[in-house]
Structure 1
Amino acid sequence: MPTLRLLTNIDIAPEARPALLARASRRVAELLGKPESYVLLILEPGRDLLFGGTDAPAAYVELKSLGLPEAKTPDYSNALCAWLGEELAIAPERVYIEFAAPPRHLFGWNGTTF
């Protein structure tokens, strides 16, 4: 159930989105050590974002996963910021990341919960 939601003020051409999503899906699976078949990506480009009083390239990211180890969130932050820099030229100081590890009984899938 790893889920990555990426909101950015960068416009991403519709034809470039599938490849970006595929790269992000692989990256999240590798980062968390989870099967890619469970990874969900939500991309919201071209959003109205103002960070630090400027509309320079920025991103808000949510990473949710069952059992997400809190001790590894600094590593995940570093990896995600590096990836956003490579992919979208967003500086790390222009990224906020929210990490969440929902309880298994509060996350549903396939007509049940985990």
Structure 2
Amino acid sequence: MPMLKIQTNVTLDANAATALVAEASRTVTTLLGKPERYVMVSLEPAATMAFGGDASPLAYLEMKSIGLPQNRTTPLSKALCELMKSALGVPADRVYIEFADAEAALWGWNGGTF
């Protein structure tokens, strides 16, 4: 159900990428209270990106989930920005996060929908 996509212009080695994906999965699980077995995290490092015309380290995240409560977006934003800072060195003011509440009938899984 929850899907977190991370795009960044920061280059990571395989170990750092694996650690970031694992920590992001745990963060989403904790803050949304959803089983981790349903959480998906995608990481796209070393993307060609700029923010404000500047190619300094940055990140763009998409967080989608069925039943994403609006009262959880601020804590998620804070935690994910902190994660981008600790894992990638990206300051919070160079992170955009798009939150989306997906309808269960429009989220496919296992040959059906939720």
TM bin, normalised by shorter chain, reads: over 0.9
Matched residue type, 2:59:
A
- Alignment partner of 1:58 is 2:58: yes
What is the alpha-carbon distance in structure 1 between the residues aligned to residue 73 and residue 59 of structure 2? 17
Deviations 1:73-110 (Å, cap 9, x if unpaired)?
12211111111111111100000000001110000000
- Alignment partner of 1:37 is 2:16: no
Q: What displacement does 1:24 show?
A: 1.4
Matched residue type, 1:11:
T
Question: Unpaired runs of 5+ in structure 2?
Answer: none
Q: Following TM superposition, where does structure 1 have runs of at least 4 consecutive aligned residues deviating by more than 2 angstroms? A: none
- Alignment partner of 1:88 is 2:88: yes
> More displaced, 70-79 or 98-107?
70-79
SS of 2:53's equivalent in the other structure is: coil
Alignment check: 8 A CA contact 2:2 2:38 kept: yes
TM-score by length of 1: 0.95
Q: In percent, how many aligned pairs have the same letter?
A: 49
SS of 2:79's equivalent in the other structure is: helix
Deviations 1:49-92 (Å, cap 9, x if unpaired)?
10011000000000011100112212211111111111111100
Matched residue type, 1:106:
L
Alignment check: 8 A CA contact 2:31 2:72 kept: no
Q: 1:70-109 counterparts in 2 under 5 A?
A: 70-109=70-109
Alignment check: 8 A CA contact 2:27 2:79 kept: no
TM-score by length of 2: 0.95
SS of 2:24's equivalent in the other structure is: helix
Question: Unpaired runs of 5+ in structure 1?
Answer: none
Q: What displacement does 1:8 show?
A: 0.1
Matched residue type, 1:90:
V
